[in-house]
Structures are given as structure tokens and as C-alpha cells.
Amino acid sequence: MDTLKNILLILAVILSFNVMIFVHELGHFLAARWRGLKIEKFQVWFGKPIWSKTINGVQYGLGWIPAGGFVALPQLAPMETLEGKSEYDDEPLPPISPLDKIIVAVAGPIFSLGLAVTIGLAVWGIGKPQDIIHQTQVGYIKKDGPADKAGMQLGDTIIAINDKPVEGFMGNLNCITENIVLSEGDTIKFTVKREGETEPRTIISSFETEPTRWYQRRALRQVGIQYTRPSIVDAVVPHSPADKAGLKKGDQISALDGTTIWNPLLVPDLIEQKNGQEMQATIKRGAETLEIALKPNAPLTPANQKPMLGISWNNEGIIDTHIVHPNPIQQCKDSIKMMVVTIGALTSPKSSIGIDQLSSPIGIAKAKFDLLSTDENGWRRLLVFLVLINVNLAIFNMLPFPVLDGGHTLLAIMEWVARRPVKARVLEYVQSACALLLISLFLYISTKDVGGFIKPREKNEPVTFAP
């Protein structure tokens, strides 16, 4: 059953890709028809066609490189690197006006925006899940991590990062995690409210990134903190210390040896600090408050594990997921804001965000698959993602870079001003060089996407304790 489900999800991802590319190229195609341009090819994906059919002088095809697509227009600009050699190189075609070139070039992005708005109308009607962790109180601090060294304390409530107010720990651009990741410079300024103090205090923290291999993306900035959440028992391993002490599902460990448990991650840290010695646990069980002695013990399997209690934690209710109904304009504005912030981080020399953090079609496809696989709202999440991707596609294609639609538009404007086109031979060299640069960038980012799939093999042995 899982195999069939995965196949269906993969087919849905492929279909969404093709619809997105087809609609963008359809914009160019229809505009070219309208303006009377010669259309040689209409192809989804690049490379030599694995399927093609000629109808009324136009070759329709599917390429073998699963990225992008094109409409071959010999009168617009030479694009042999991506589209192959034109059949009209030796057959002169009538020139077209700069206005025709601009109309055909911008039609693709306009159609992409139109698709984004169309999908946005559907999202407006059916709603989208908004996932956010609203908690801003610090419940865990990594020992000797950046936040620990900066003097942050458990129970601190973060109210701003780099003077920008935050509304949660994770979920959107106004949250703590996202502001840490997108921060610039060598330090991060936290404004926190500490219990017992009337005025907020400022904490200046450094950050760290986990090491990665050459074929993987660089890790994102982090300071070693987590949010406050209740430590509620979800399951107890048979014969474990927690089982022998009588802990049950639904019990909440509120303190160990008098130390408040702000987050379950504190439990193994306290066990290590106490060298595995017996601890007195304060347990909330319904309306009761119990005091139970817990003696951590090392399990039989996996081998060489440190002493533990043998508990898995309840994660329900941590993420606040509710359905909202933003209108299509708001969805597009949010997508544009996301892209502007990303481009700003990419171009800033003080940011840790680089080209390797972008996604190729491989990474985008995986993101779509993961979104579909999340929960019963997966299909809603995919629609929201498609709005974002189509807006990004429209804006990216309008960048004034040769090969892209924005490059064609810029060249047409230059031709309009100078009253003569750029020399064909020069334009061919520039287009080919930029096409190769774009393909190289695509391949580089693709290696990072593939590298993300390569992870050390882990033994998933069940935790067991001696009876």
C-alpha cells in the first residue's frame, strides 16, 4: 500500500512540474502566435527530445533533461545551447520589432503569475494550513553553545532579534529560527524578557553551523536553543527505569531533583550532570502531583548507550496548525516577500546564505513529495507551494540576465533605444556563454540536492532493557 501511495505522490509531483512549465511556455507560444513570429519548437524539458511530433510546422517535444522548457523562436534570439540548431540558420526570416520581442518575452512570466493567482483562488476557497510554534520562551540551551556563552537563561522570553519583533519560535519570517538563519554579521542581537526584571535586556550572541561534507549544503546558523514545551510521556520502554518506577503514558515530568524541566531535551543533560545517579522526579498525573525516584540505567541495546530513563515524548499540540484563507493577492505578496528576503540574504556578504542553499528541480520535487506526505493537509500544502514556485519562476525569469526572459526584454529595450539590434554573432556568443553558466549553476545546485540524500547509515535498533 505504501509503495502505491509513493508512486501516486511521485506522479502528482511530476504532473505539477509539467503543468507549471507548460503554462509558462504556453504564454510565450500564444504571444508569438499573436505577433506573427515563426515558431520552430515547443518543448517541455531541455536536451534532445525523447518524444516529438510536428504539427503545422511546429515540433512539439519532451526533452531528456528534466528542467525547464522552451519555445524556439529563431527571430527572437539564438539559443542553440538549450534548443539545438535552428532549421532556419540558412533561411533569412523577416526581422521583428522590439515591441514584439518584449511582448513575447514577458508573456511567459505573466502566464506564470496567472497560474499562481489561479491556484491562489483555489487556496483562498479551500484554505491553507498555517503551521507555527507560537512559543517564544527558551526551554533548552545547549551547554557551551553560543546562547549559553552569551548568558541566555532558561525561562527567558525572546521578544526581538536584531530589533525585529518575533511572534513564535518557527513557522514564518517573523519567527525566531528564521531570523537566526537569515541574520547578518558576526553576532545576533536578542532582546529578552527575564522573569523578575521589569525592563528587557539585550544579549549579544555568536552563532555556529554544523560541519557538512563537500557534496552537501552548508548548514544554517543556530545558537543552540529550543522552545519551552511540556515533557509529557508518550510511551515507556518495558523493563526500563521509567517502567520500574511506575511512570505511565500521559505523565508529565515537571522537575528532576528540583530543577524545572522546560523541555524534554533537558532530561538527558541532567542525567549526564548527575552521572546517572538516582534522581527525585516531580510528576504531574492528572490532578495529582507525585514524587518518584528514578535511577537511570544503560540499555542492553543499542550497545554503548549512556544511562537513560526509557521514555519517548508526546509531540502532539506543539505545532499550532489551523486553516486560514488568505486572498490570492496576499499569497502572491507573501511569495514576493519570501523571494526578496532570500535574494537579499544571497547577495549580502554578511549572510551565511549562499548559492548552495538554493534548490534545483530535484530539491523542489523532493519538497513537493515531502509536503504531500505530511498529513491529510498535504495536498493543500502543495497548492500553497505551487503559488510560491510560480511567483518565483515569474520573477526569476524577469531578471535581466541573457537567456532568461528578462534578458530578452533588456536586449529589446536596448535595440529600441539604439534603433538597431545587437549583432547576431555577438549575441550568439553571449547567449551561449550565459546558457552554459546557467546549466553549470543548475548542475552545482543539483549536486547539493543529491548530496542531501546521502546520509550515514544508522542502525535503528529498538531500545531494550534487562528485565
Share of the chain above pLDDT 90, in %: 58
Domain that holds residue 91: 2-126+377-451
Other C-beta atoms within 10 Å of 181: how many? 17
Residues 394 and 421 in one domain: yes
Question: For the chain, how many structural domains are there in total?
Answer: 3
How confident is the model over 280-295, as a mean pLDDT? 94
Q: Residue 90: pLDDT above 60?
A: no
Quick check: is 318 in a domain?
Answer: no
Q: Residue 195: pLDDT above 60?
A: yes
Residues 142 and 186 in one domain: yes
**Domain with 266 in it: what CATH number?**
2.30.42.10
Kindly state the cell numbers that stand for 341.
Answer: 528576503
Confidence category of residue 242, pLDDT binned at 50, 70, 90:
very high
Predicted TM-score (pTM) of this structure? 0.86
Q: Residue 214: pLDDT above 50?
A: yes
Confidence category of residue 352, pLDDT binned at 50, 70, 90:
very high
Q: Residue 458: pLDDT above 70?
A: no
Q: Residue 421: pLDDT above 80?
A: no
Which residues touch 178 (CB under 8 Å, ≥6 apart)?
170, 172
Residues 14 and 121 in one domain: yes
Closest CA to 322 of 171, 179, 116, 173: 171
Could you say which of 227, 249, 280 is where a domain stops? 227
Residues 201 and 85 in one domain: no
Q: Residue 64: pLDDT above 70?
A: yes
C-alpha 224/C-alpha 386 separation (Å) is 33
Confidence category of residue 65, pLDDT binned at 50, 70, 90:
confident
Provide the CB-side half-sphere exposure for 402 (13 A, CA).
20
Confidence category of residue 70, pLDDT binned at 50, 70, 90:
confident
SS3 state of residue 67: strand
Quick check: is 330 in a domain?
Answer: no
Q: Residue 400: pLDDT above 80?
A: yes
Residues 250 and 163 in one domain: no
Could you say which of 303, 337, 365 is where a domain stops? 303
Q: What pLDDT was estimated at residue 78?
A: 54
Quick check: is 34 in a domain?
Answer: yes
Average pLDDT score, the chain = 89
